[in-house]
């Protein structure tokens, strides 16, 4: 998993897969490979996801958050509330990208 995860082991693969289906349309890559997912915490009631953007000027922030919520809602049990929170600290940097993303971007 390319991001910190705290919660039931059984949910981790479904959550990782759901977030991997969310694409940042500006770079045509999923948000996990781009390094936008800062962490996921699952408790008895909530799936809480911290994500960031490559820039505060990103024109697709709302779309990415909405897509993440929709994908997670399909992937986790109905009793869990999905909360996707946008954070800016620490700032995103290319170091967060997966090796696949760096190759794709030619870095």
What CATH code is carried by the domain that includes residue 59? 3.30.300.130
Domain membership flag for residue 106 = no
Read off φ and ψ for residue 26, nearest 5 degrees. -70, -30
Instruction: Report the distance separating Cα 66 and Cα 53, nearest Å.
Output: 14
Instruction: Give the rounded distance of the alpha carbon of 67 from its chain centre.
Output: 10
Instruction: Tell me the whole-structure pTM to 2 decimals.
Output: 0.94
Domain membership flag for residue 102 = no
Cα 25 to Cα 6, 22, 41, 48, 64: the distances in Å are 28, 9, 26, 23, 9
The pLDDT assigned to 66 comes to 97
Domain membership flag for residue 50 = yes
Domain membership flag for residue 105 = no
Cα 36 to Cα 1, 14, 31, 49: the distances in Å are 13, 18, 5, 11
The tally of domains found in the chain comes to 1
The pLDDT assigned to 48 comes to 98
> Could you tell me the residue range of the domain that residue 53 belongs to?
5-90
DSSP 27-38: TTEEHHHHT-EE
Residues of the chain with pLDDT under 70: none
For 57-86, the pLDDT digits (tens) are 888 999 999 999 999 999 999 999 999 999
Number of H helices, E strands in the chain: 4, 6
Q: Look up residue 91 and give its DSSP letter.
A: P
Domain membership flag for residue 18 = yes
């Amino acid at each position: 998993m390319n991001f910190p995860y705290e919660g039931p082991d059984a949910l981790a693969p479904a959550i990782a897969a759901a977030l991997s289906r969310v694409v940042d349309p500006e770079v045509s890559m999923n948000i996990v490979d781009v390094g936008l997912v800062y962490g996921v915490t699952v408790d008895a009631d909530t799936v809480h996801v911290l994500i960031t953007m490559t820039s505060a000027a990103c024109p697709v922030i709302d779309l990415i958050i909405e897509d993440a919520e929709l994908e997670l809602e399909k992937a986790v049990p109905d009793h869990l509330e999905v909360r996707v929170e946008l954070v800016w600290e620490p700032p995103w940097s290319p170091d967060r990208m997966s090796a696949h993303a760096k190759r794709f971007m030619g870095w």
